[in-house]
Amino acid sequence: MERFHWVQHRCRQLLAGDSGRGCYSPPDGLSTKSSPQSAGGRRRTVFARHGPHHQEHQSASKNYKSNAIRTTKYSLLTFIPMNLFQQFHRAANLYFLFLALLNWVPVVEAFQKEITMIPLLVVLAVIAIKDALEDYRRYVFDKRVNNNVARVFCGFKQTYTECCWKDVSVGDLVRLSCNDIIPADLLLLSSSDPRGVCYIETANLDGETNLKQRQVVADLPVQGEELTPENFLSRIECENPNNDLRRFRGYIEHPGGVRVGLHNSNLLLRSCTIRNTETVVGIVVYAGHETKAMMNNSGSRYKCSQLEKRLNTDVLWCVFLLVVMCLVAAVGHGLWLQNLRDPVFQVDGETSPVLAGFYVFWTMIIVLQVLIPISLYVSIEIVKLGQIYFIHNDLDLYNEQLDSQIQCRALNITEDLGRVQFLFSDKTGTLTENKMVFRRCSIFGVEYPHEENARRLQVYEAETDKVAGRSVTLQLGSSRKSLSCPSLSCNCSSVSLHTLTAESAEDKDQLPTGAQARTSVFCSRMAKEVVPDPALVQKLNWFCSSVLPLSDSSSSPSSLELTYITDFFLALSVCNSVVVSSPGHATHLVPKDQTPLRSLEEMKLMFQRFSFSPFSGLSPPQIRGSPRSFTSRLFTRGKAGTLTVSLRPNSATYKSDTDPERDLETSTLECRPDLSSIGDGEDDLQVEETEEDLRETHPDRAGEDGGALAKEADSEGDPEDELLYEAESPDEAALVHAARAYRCTLRGRSADSLLVDLPGVGSLEVQLLHILPFDSNRKRMSVVVRHPLTGQVVVYTKGADSVIMDLAGTPTGAEQVCSHIRKQTQRHLDAYAREGLRTLCIAKKVLEEEEYEVWMKRQLLAESSFENREELLLESAQRLETDLTLLGTTGIVDRLQEDVPETIEALQRAGIRVWVLTGDKQETAVNVAYACKLLRDNDQLLTANCGSKEACAALLEELQQEVQRGHCWTDWSSGGQLSSSSGTSFVLVIDGRTLDWALQEGLKSSFLETSRRCKAVICCRSTPLQKSQVVQLIRDQLGVMTLAVGDGANDVSMIQVADVGVGISGQEGMQAVMSSDFAISRFKHLRKLLLVHGRWCYSRLANMILYFIYKNVMYVNLLFWYQWFCGFSGSVMSISWVLVLFNLLFTSVPPLVYGVLDRHTAADILMERPQIYRAAQTAKVYVPSTFWITVLDAFYQSLVCFFLPYFAFADSDVGSLSFGSPINASALLIILLQQVIESNTLTWIHVLVLVLSGGSYFLFVLPFSVFCVTCSPPTNPLGVETLQMSQPLFYFLCVLTTVTALIPRLLFRALYNTFHPAAVLRSERYQSRTQCSNRSHSRTNSVPLCADNPGLETSSAS
Amino acid sequence: MMASSYNAKEEDAHHSGASSHGGAGAVKSKKPDNTAFKQQRLPAWQPILTAGTVLPAFFVIGLIFIPIGIGLFVTSNNIKEFEIDYTGVKTDSPCYSCAKNVSWNNTTPCVCSMDFTLEQPFENNVYMYYGLSNFYQNHRRYVKSRDDSQLNGDLSALKEPSKECEPYRKSEGLPIAPCGAIANSLFNDTLELFHIDSNGTRNPVPLVKQGIAWWTDKNVKFRNPGANSNLTIAFQGTTKPVNWRRPVYELDPLNSDNNGFINEDFIVWMRTAALPTFRKLYRIISKKSGSNPTLSSGRYVLDVTYNYPVLSFDGRKRMILSTISWMGGKNPFLGIAYITVGSICFFLGVVLLIIHHKYDTRNNSPDIPN
């Protein structure tokens, strides 16, 4: 049906293609690239539904989906056929079906026809029930979503009326209030916000909680008045639905024929939430399943674990075994038949032996079907669900601060966690907190070390170590509360108001939810409170009181430097995409009534005289004779500002703090810098002067500026303190906070302007002309603004140092200064990197008006183009970002996450090679590597930086030889001990460019050879693509298990390529988490996840699989042995029900419990002795030999289990069912007791399940043999079991059989554990508590853990 | 497969949004419960099987099994059993000629007599079996070839037997009762036992026909069709199995409780044997009153009415006299097996003890409670 619609739709579009092309003439300049053909098929046209274009609307939107969603797969009618159809896509079910059908062929029929259907029916039913429940859940959810209420414009009533989501259709106008969830993809047409913006929270979509700004479509003719379809006459043309959340292209044609480009910032996406905006109106462009949110819904990931691949080969062996057994039976039957002459018991005497043998072959396949452990696959899935349940519930993997558990997104690779050999880690956000804190900066080639700031960070660190995360959490919670407050000021109904307060009241008691906390970490106290550097403050103050520099020119900064500094901070506060919100206001806008200070004009004049272009400023203009009152006033304000800046956080952030002592401590600390800056020798004079000025100026100011002052106090008082910055990346927030510390405060943002406080000037509106957002290719972002003071068009660029340094031009006439600055800055950059700081360079460029106009045109073209928009935008951005003037650089601290060094050390001891792949600078990366103990002092660093492929080849060759000389870590599989190494170990550091060469075909192998012998590899400056290439190379070439862990969008490809992808739900949105298999919140969680859960899951699953195979082989062989005594005719000695249920019911649960609950080694031992991990890593647990030993053991046990009763019953009057009765019972006992021997732990659950399983057999068999009079025809059980079980022989047989069958296993286990000391490791937990731990440690270290495993199992293997 | 195609997170978000009117949106912490189960800290017994821990078990097994084995062996040895093969393979066998000539549609019975001597007197009840060898009563097609409903007295099944009975389902248009290959091949030799006393007279040993079948079979599973008044009428419209000489309602015309489907010889035959060499209970020789042995030692004659051909498939026919114990018939295997396994365990226990003392000295704390 759906497909039909689609075809219809396509046809229509193709037919309408011509007219469509006519309507749309692409803007000049790009027509060449957009082929009309493709454009015709990829567009949709939207008209308002109840407007004058009603007819067009009808025709255009006929084929657009309605907003009703249906995520269910089935309906009541289609459930059974469709579900069956789906299920028979699985090989296992087909196998069952084949067997069931085979049993319908009379000549090969083995059991009653119905009985063979049971396994199939059970499996189908179990899965169908699961599917049905899932589908029902979806149905209920769909219903709820579809019946959500939205306010939609109604054609009859001519107003907005309430309407269910499902009735919304394309072209409807929808009005939404604050906190409403958006019902469909809307084009934003009007907003209550005077600037036409609206904020949405996309947490439902991508988990990012920071607000995103959306903008009303430009140039709407009906701006201002209430928007109704009557006055909305425009036609919207946009691309067809797609799943790209970050792209929306189209244009809107207004009645006048004006076309305006539409892009992502005009689109409100379904299931996002409106925030901080009173009302908005939008027109539906995509509805229902065509919305971007719905098109992005994809199921969870499917990965095939390596163990399962291994398992598949074993299953093939089972198939082989089955075929062999069936062939034996077939041949045997043929031979047996040949020697017979007309026996009484031969029912169909005329069949030729060959044909009969052929029939028997198929019969035997039915009889021995259990040998192929098809149900194992279902069991494995169930076991993995159980394992995931426990991983999920592990308290150690729970992050209290974020209130986040581990998320297991891929359900079927838990055991791969136990075999990781290579770990690829991102650095930022993975090893480090990604809580960026401004640390120091360099401007104009002058370094400002921010010593106080460093001290503050140290104190903070110590503090957090002391005080548990608890108080921090509380505080974060409270700050978040203020975030959610804006909604209160919106026009919410009283009900929702009530709910909100209720919620926030609850917040006080409970921990904040993860989402809440995540936003607020950007604004954490640590990031906010930057202590300004006194020298820099001083210089800024000089700038404010521009008279002073003249007094002693030696120490005073040149005015050029001052402009640099001002520009630097302006850039910090302007060049970003930070959204400002303050709880006091519904909208975080520039208060419109703010009048600029009277003296602003004078300031501007002064700035212009400074001649902002730095090169004309080479001859510093002497500014004298500025009105004294003015400067002094500025100065005073400046001083006051300084004080408020540093004190403010105390009053603001500590309101909810629980620890008064800490309060005190911090506040005193905070005060210090101000005092010192005031008390600085040179400043003495100023201070006096200030006070004097203050006194002097006070009288006139009181009168004139009273109002302004009050306003100022207002704005600098409480409300301002609660300014919250919501940034897309923590760097941005850190920089804005840093600027704010220097009184360069970003106070508000609108679509086309920013409100910035400048020191000494007050709030200024900076006209925002353009934002060229950050992307990872350019590695920079830029804003184009009109400078508030000079009026020039200025480009501020912020980006990675390598890029900015390249782009920074050396303008003529200023080479000397410029190169000096560059040299100095480069020096500082290197120093920062060595310190492990993240560096960003700030640059600017002044554009001539004409230049700007030219660029602007191209940019607009690029923006409104349909095709190649991305490329054009990139090109346009590149055109702009050239010949930049380097202003300075910033150093941002990103602290290591807690326990990272310990975790890395543990992982390395577990034999996991840790590689760090980062986009950061080499020095930074190496430094962090030292910090997290990846690198140690005695490690030998191999650095690979080369400029050409040839050099790279030579270098790699050289490195390879060098590494080979060093004999440590010669082969990773030998699992050399880290500590035992006599020599040094090698660490390869390779940069992005060299990596590019190294990954090429010719050098791949030598790179591989070198890196595999290194203890660790650090790839710096690597792109996302390179990261994934490296992972792929290692995974494919070495055939090892790889794990990639990262937190950002740049790690996504790496995470996807690796066998196990782990996402860290950190500061950078959810892309990494969305693409990961496991999502954790802290790097340290990897330790438990891998060492404990991975190990457990692996051994559990491997043991479970082995046990399952054992169980099947053992039981099936009983039937096979019987064939030798029934002429290979395919007879069975059991009731066919028992035969079928044996696997399905009586022995199905114990393996599951075994697979979910078994604890191979206690968790604390696994944590303490990572070496244990190695055994599983190299797949020592589940190897072919274990498989064959298991099969052999099963053969032995079945032999015992069959032949002891055989001899006991030989030549007696025993009936075939009576013969089978003790065999079945003892087989059950053996199988269950085997598990007791194999289990490493037995809890009451195990005992319960074992007892119930054993009991269920008797509970089934006894009533069956009492009540089943004529049922189950060939094997009617009436009286069999009751009679057998009343005879002592039965019990004597069972005991003898069970004991005899289990002796070898028991003996082997005992001897193995005795001779294999590693196995006794578990018991050493006990010893290490009582005895000297040194001894046990040294012993375990010397234990050859990876020594040749005699192939046995698992529990003993390590 | 376990995937839900809808994003769970979105769902939650929707949920909280939708339920905001209800005011039920309690913010729940995701913190997992700190229970022993969820944290996988359930108290567990960790069976660390080492030589030290296992050796007591081996000793115990050895010490228990050996006496049991001796007991079983002695019991089995006390059982008296006599067996005589009357197939008539050898030319000097009295039944040789019968065996040569016998076929299913013989009308004249061939009788042969076997002489034998019991060395020891048989006390208590003596059970008389017939034994067949190389007779695959457990052949798949053979086992299936019966209709339990018909045997249970179901009238519709009587007239229209199950398809499983093919090719012994109908004969000349009439349904066969009882149908199927098993019934068709009913063992139909008649065995009679005579004691030859000191003066050479043949005294017939009284053989009890009833009580040889399982109680459940006799009373529940097998029933004659109809009201059981007149079997001839009840079985009207059916025909006898091809190999039978008499119809089913004439199996024991003297005793209506042992006639038709509930004839015990028939019931015993219908319970198919597990192995190709088997015996089936034929008659019971009841214990005599007083101290006389049931069968005193001396000469006996077995009169065989030889009807059942087995030579075509190399089969053998035997007559077995046996007393039984609480363990059943004579079978020394179980006792020997117990003794052997017990000895092995004991021996292994000793070996483990040595190993334990040599290698396993450090581990003195076998089971560690978690």
C-alpha–C-alpha distance, residues A754 and A765, integer Å: 6
Which residues, 6 or more positions from A976, have their beta carbon under 8 angstroms from its beta carbon?
A968, A969, A970
Which pLDDT belongs to residue A974? 41
Q: What is the mean pLDDT of residues B163-181?
A: 88
* Disruptive mutation site among A129, A409, A1213 for chain B (greatest number of B CBs within 10 Å): A1213
H or E element, residue A1019:
strand A1016-1020
Question: What pLDDT band is residue B313 in, cutting at 50, 70 and 90?
Answer: confident
User: Which of B241, B124, B237 has the alpha carbon at shortest distance from B182?
Assistant: B241
Residue B361: pLDDT over 70: no
Residue A327: pLDDT over 90: yes
The 10s digit of each residue's pLDDT in A138-163 is 888 888 888 888 888 877 777 788 88
Which pLDDT belongs to residue A1225? 94
Report if pTM > 0.80: no
Structure tokens at B175: 């349904």
C-alpha–C-alpha distance, residues A909 and A915, integer Å: 14
Taking the alpha carbons at both ends of chain A, their separation in whole angstroms is 57
Which pLDDT belongs to residue A1179? 55
Beta bridge partners of A176: A280
| CB neighbourhood size of A1145 (10 A) | 17
Candidate from B34, B162, B214 with C-beta closest to A1279 = B214
CA distance A346 to chain B (A): 7
**Are A1276 and B221 inside 8 Å of each other by CB?**
yes
Q: Is B271 near chain A, with CB under 8 Å?
A: yes
Which pLDDT belongs to residue A1348? 33
Q: Which of residues 94-123 of B touch A (CB under 8 A)?
A: none
Q: Is B326 near chain A, with CB under 8 Å?
A: yes
User: Which of A398, A410, A381, A304 has the alpha carbon at shortest distance from A1061?
Assistant: A410
Question: A1253 vs A1349, which has greater pLDDT?
Answer: A1253
Across chain A, mean pLDDT equals 73
Q: Is B364 near chain A, with CB under 8 Å?
A: no
Residue A484: pLDDT over 50: no
Ordered alpha helix ranges (H), chain B = 8-18, 51-78, 96-101, 140-144, 148-151, 155-159, 181-184, 215-216, 231-234, 264-270, 332-359
Chain A residues whose beta carbon lies within 8 Å of the beta carbon of residue B28: 510
- The listed range with the strongest mean pLDDT (A898-902, A1091-1095, A1219-1223) is A1219-1223
Candidate from A510, A1216, A1288 with C-beta closest to B29 = A510
Q: Which of residues 698-737 of A touch B (CB under 8 A)?
A: none
Residue A673: pLDDT over 60: no
**Are B144 and A1303 inside 8 Å of each other by CB?**
no
Strands A579-581 and A724-726: antiparallel
Which pLDDT belongs to residue A57? 75
Candidate from B14, B131, B274 with C-beta closest to A1218 = B274
Which pLDDT belongs to residue A475? 36
The 10s digit of each residue's pLDDT in A736-779 is 888 888 888 888 877 678 888 877 777 888 888 888 887 767 77
Question: What pLDDT band is residue A1180 in, cutting at 50, 70 and 90?
Answer: low
| CB neighbourhood size of A550 (10 A) | 13
Residue A488: pLDDT over 70: no
The 10s digit of each residue's pLDDT in B203-225 is 999 999 989 999 999 988 998 88
Question: What pLDDT band is residue A227 in, cutting at 50, 70 and 90?
Answer: low
Across chain B, mean pLDDT equals 83
The 10s digit of each residue's pLDDT in A816-852 is 788 888 888 888 888 888 777 878 889 888 888 888 8
Q: Which of residues 198-227 of A touch B (CB under 8 A)?
A: 203-205, 207
The 10s digit of each residue's pLDDT in A56-70 is 777 777 778 788 887
Q: How many helices (H) and strands (E) does chain B have?
A: 11, 10
- The listed range with the strongest mean pLDDT (A88-92, A804-808, A926-930, A1147-1151) is A1147-1151
Residue A1213: pLDDT over 60: yes
Residue B60: pLDDT over 90: yes
Question: What pLDDT band is residue A347 in, cutting at 50, 70 and 90?
Answer: confident
Residue A1329: pLDDT over 50: no
Question: What pLDDT band is residue A1029 in, cutting at 50, 70 and 90?
Answer: confident
- The listed range with the strongest mean pLDDT (A302-306, A660-664, B258-262) is B258-262
Secondary structure in 3-state letters for A284-311: EEECHHHCHHHHCCCCCCCCCCHHHHHH
Question: What pLDDT band is residue A543 in, cutting at 50, 70 and 90?
Answer: low
Which pLDDT belongs to residue A626? 37
* Disruptive mutation site among B186, B275, B310 for chain A (greatest number of A CBs within 10 Å): B275
Catalytic residue (choose from A416, A426, A507, A1077):
A426
Which residues, 6 or more positions from A544, have their beta carbon under 8 angstroms from its beta carbon?
A631, A634, A635, A637, A638, A759, A760
Strand, helix or coil for residue A235: strand
Candidate from A144, A403, A1325 with C-beta closest to B29 = A403
Q: Which range, of A209-213, A1201-1205, B12-16, B168-172, averages the lowest pLDDT?
A: B12-16
Which residues, 6 or more positions from A982, have their beta carbon under 8 angstroms from its beta carbon?
A968
Which pLDDT belongs to residue A1006? 85
Contact A209, A203 (CB under 8 A): yes
CA distance A1045 to chain B (A): 22
Question: B367 vs A1304, which has greater pLDDT?
Answer: A1304
**Are A1243 and B42 inside 8 Å of each other by CB?**
yes
Which pLDDT belongs to residue B83? 92
Which pLDDT belongs to residue B340? 95
Sign of the dihedral defined by the CA atoms of residues B182, B188, B192, B193, in that order:
negative
Q: Is A298 near chain B, with CB under 8 Å?
A: yes
Q: What are the angstrom distances between the C-alpha of A566 and each of A549, A758, A787?
A: 15, 8, 11
For B147, name the nearest residue in chain A, comparing CA atoms only. Answer: A1273
Residue A13: pLDDT over 70: no
Question: A1226 vs A1322, which has greater pLDDT?
Answer: A1226
Which pLDDT belongs to residue B133? 92
Structure tokens at A532: 């300004």
Residue B87: pLDDT over 50: yes
The 10s digit of each residue's pLDDT in A1006-1020 is 888 888 888 888 988
Q: Is B183 near chain A, with CB under 8 Å?
A: no
Question: What pLDDT band is residue B12 in, cutting at 50, 70 and 90?
Answer: very low
Candidate from B18, B141, B162 with C-beta closest to A347 = B141
* Disruptive mutation site among A131, A269, A344 for chain B (greatest number of B CBs within 10 Å): A344
Which residues, 6 or more positions from A283, have their beta carbon under 8 angstroms from its beta carbon?
A46, A48, A171, A172, A173, A174, A186, A187, A189, A232, A236
Q: Which of residues 1008-1067 of A touch B (CB under 8 A)?
A: none
Chain A residues whose beta carbon lies within 8 Å of the beta carbon of residue B21: 495-496, 499
Complex confidence, ipTM: 0.90
The 10s digit of each residue's pLDDT in B97-143 is 888 888 887 778 889 999 999 998 998 889 999 999 999 999 988 98
Contact A921, A967 (CB under 8 A): no
Residue A86: pLDDT over 60: yes
Candidate from A144, A503, A1323 with C-beta closest to B365 = A1323
C-alpha–C-alpha distance, residues B284 and A1213, integer Å: 14
> Does residue A426 carry a catalytic annotation?
yes
Q: Please name the amino acid found at residue A1095.
A: R
